[in-house]
Structure 1
Amino acid sequence: MEFKIEHTWDSLPVSHEPVSVRLKSGSAGLLMEVSAPFFNDPPAPLGEPGKPFSGLWDYEVVEAFFLSERTKQYLEVELCPRNVFTNNHQTKSLEGKRSELEYKITNTWDSIKVMREPAIIRFKAGDKGLIMEVNSLFFDDPSAPSGEPGKPFDGLWDYEGMDNIFYYCSLEETVLKKDCLIFEAGINWNKWNGTALIPWRYFPPGVDKMNSYAIHGSGIGRTYEALYPIPRDDIEQGQGLFSIVWSISKESV
């Protein structure tokens, strides 16, 4: 698995070659390979090369966090270009802390920048499932579906809404039809927000990929925005929507 760090913590694109992190399965453990620009700022820590060093986060470093939702524990790994690493090899508990992830959808599916306020998605771990919160501009296009509020509706992807897809390593899907989510939504002028509780049983084991989409508009104005878009150079002529979804999600985390 390979990941690229292309944004700052507040979603601004980096102005240099992105950091690459590769994870490989080894006989003795997980291999973590890092390739990154070297800034030499701040100066090297005083730790002995090849030995742990406390407070490495104050220096030039690449950090990785590995989280277990089931046990509420995480492992933090810090690597420094000076051949110094963090001494934190023990997992830490998240009990009593609020675990929350926030994402902004700032591009269309084909990597064109969205020139307005982006849709925001937040995920929180709840006792009964994953809490998904959505905040987005309200376009009121197309008109509302005819389904009964609070009930499942087939073909909802043809309307205005948010779509979130979770995949696991075998790239096979577990489909649950006609199951209800606990979902509430509201419209306030030109914005809408919604909160859904996705039961843990809905998720297949080993989920390791995710992508989110904001969809609205009708006809030639139909717009598909993606958290993890396809790079422009990777788009094939005549590529259909379902192949777009698969190719995006296979590269997402």
Structure 2
Amino acid sequence: MSMSVSGVSVELTDARALVAGATGALGGAITAELAGRGARVALAGRDPSRLAHAVRAYPGAPAVRFDAYAPESCASAVRDASAALGGLDAVVIAFGAVAFGAASEVGDEVAEHLMAVNHLAPAAFCRAALGILHPGASIAAVTGVVAERPQPRMADYSASKAALSAWLDAVRREARSTGVRVLEIRPGHLDTGFAQRPVAGTAPPLPEGGDPRQLATAVADALETGAELLRSGPDGTPVVERRAR
């Protein structure tokens, strides 16, 4: 893989990429897109059976487990993937949890769960990656449109995603001096079934979701161009921005 620290073009061919959440719909689509562009992928997931099933599509690819409630396991997943691939050029974090309900109804345990899974665990992956990535390498993490436009009956979910977005923004500015890129992936609603698997509550009526494969293509494009933000345009189409606002 050839990388330019200043930034114009990054080849994904032979890049060593860890995808955390590779067993999910979006993480799986991102894994397939990176592999399709020639990257050497490592898959990270929580459920061993789903991880074993997912890795079958990538013969020889490392599979590492993590538990979002155990930050050390997130850091270990990064180290193990790096050891298996002989280093890492990109770490992509594409997992999370959602809950619905009025703020007065959502219990403290659910709020704590959302913050652990949606902010603290991704931050643990990023922290570990920052310790080993070389100049020109990339970290990418999925937040969501709720990070900038919090929604009623999704207060705690919105807050957890906003916390990760703020954290990434600060880390991005820290990492610029080291040459490591930080990409925030901030999509709108996607057709992944995510909203139908809440940890609490019931999803409100939602518009038709976007295609996760289209977003995965945009993620790969953003990594190749060294972009800092990937968001959804007014029509739901992914928009790659070179610099985060």
Bin of the TM-score, shorter chain as denominator length = under 0.3
Q: What TM-score do you get using the length of structure 2 for normalisation?
A: 0.25
> RCO greater where, 1 or 2, for CA within 8 Å and sep 6 or more?
2
Structure with greater proportional strand content: 1
Query: Between Structure 1 and Structure 2, which shows a larger proportion of helix residues?
Result: 2
Q: Flag the structure with larger Rg.
A: 1
